Structure 1
Amino acid sequence: YTLVNASLGAQFDEWGVELYVDNLTDELAEKYINTIDDIRRITTNRPRTIGLRVNYKYY
């Protein structure tokens, strides 16, 4: 599987802002499979996540 992440940001003096997307294509990957006690348990990756980061640099 292939995961694609992207971000775009800008810095304005002390303030910064960044828009990000993790798992842009919303790929579903089975990272681990456990079959203890004949019960199938599957660990997958996180779904598409979209967010906004804001930061402030103080001196």
Structure 2
Amino acid sequence: MELKTFSPARDFLRLLTELASVIKIIHRSKAFGYLTQHVQFLNGKKKISNSIFPPPRQL
């Protein structure tokens, strides 16, 4: 038995979860960039080659 009244809510929930996953990926890549920047600072500005993520901007 399908509840057709809950279809819009289900679609909205699916949209939210997809949006959350995209935001999570972006946030993770940003956090990774900041982490490598921090590691570079701790290592006395040793270079860490990273081809996947662009280097974070200096604030």
Decide: shared fold, TM above 0.5. no
Question: TM-score of the superposition, structure 1-length normalised?
Answer: 0.21
Per residue, is there more helix in 1 or in 2? 2
CA radius of gyration, larger in: 2
Relative to the length of structure 2, the TM-score reads: 0.21
Instruction: Identify the structure with the greater strand proportion.
Output: 1
Q: Give the number of the structure with larger relative contact order, counting CA–CA contacts within 8 Å between residues 6 or more apart.
A: 1
